[in-house]
Copies of this chain bind each other. A is one copy, B any other.
């Protein structure tokens, strides 16, 4: 398999964690988002959405991080990333989607660039925007975790899964404008539990071959 990614991309980070948890080897192809590589003709031929990650698996090119991770979970069942019952699966998917649908897209690089270039937002306003959407999403995420006995050492029980895979890159991301994690003790506890695992640690941006200071 070949992963088209970028060290700083939270969505590529999710897929790296999933591949690591399942012990699947993969090759890297780096797409430098700040230099605009994602809009090159070559990359648009791989993913016309001009986004990373994209995963090549034999003849198939898969896009969108959550779709890729569900595909890996269906094709490599040894370390399941979703629980077994439909309502538990729905809980884990919903937690993942708080991050993937309600936080991360609004704080994406391309959105921040639009705020600065088109709306002339200054750095302070961009920082407030960034932290506002993480705080809004984390408030719901924290409450959902804290009020439910299904929460364990990880977001769902005592094994890491899809919700943790989305949460950890978002916590990394939240340090860009130094969001205070004090109001989110369950998130912070689970983040720390995840980072003790090599699958999460090895996937972090600073440890990728394309990492920059």
Chain A positions within 8 Å of B, measured between CB atoms, are: 44, 47-51, 57, 60, 62-64, 66-68, 70-71, 74-75, 86-87, 89-91, 93-94, 97-98, 100-102, 104-106, 110-111, 114-115, 118-119, 121, 125, 128-129, 132, 136-137, 139-141, 143-144, 147
Chain B residues closer than 8 Å to A98, beta-carbon distance: 49, 64
Chain B residues closer than 8 Å to A118, beta-carbon distance: 125, 128-129, 132
Chain B residues closer than 8 Å to A121, beta-carbon distance: 119
With A48-B140, A60-B90, A64-B97 given, can you name 14 additional A-B contacts, CB distance below 8 Å? A44-B143, A49-B98, A49-B137, A51-B102, A57-B87, A62-B87, A66-B93, A68-B90, A70-B89, A70-B90, A71-B89, A101-B105, A118-B132, A119-B121
The reply to whether A106 and B111 contact each other, CB–CB distance below 8 Å, is yes
In this complex, the member of A51, A104, A105 whose beta carbon has the largest number of chain B beta carbons within 10 angstroms is: A105
Tell me how far the C-beta of A82 lies from the nearest C-beta in chain B, rounded to whole angstroms.
10
Chain B residues closer than 8 Å to A106, beta-carbon distance: 105-106, 111
How many copies altogether? 2
The reply to whether B66 and A147 contact each other, CB–CB distance below 8 Å, is no
Answer whether A49 and B119 are a contact pair too, CB < 8 Å, given A62-B94, A89-B71, A98-B64: no
Chain B residues closer than 8 Å to A136, beta-carbon distance: 110
**Which of chain B's residues has its CB closest to A86's CB?**
B74
Chain B residues closer than 8 Å to A87, beta-carbon distance: 57, 60, 62, 71
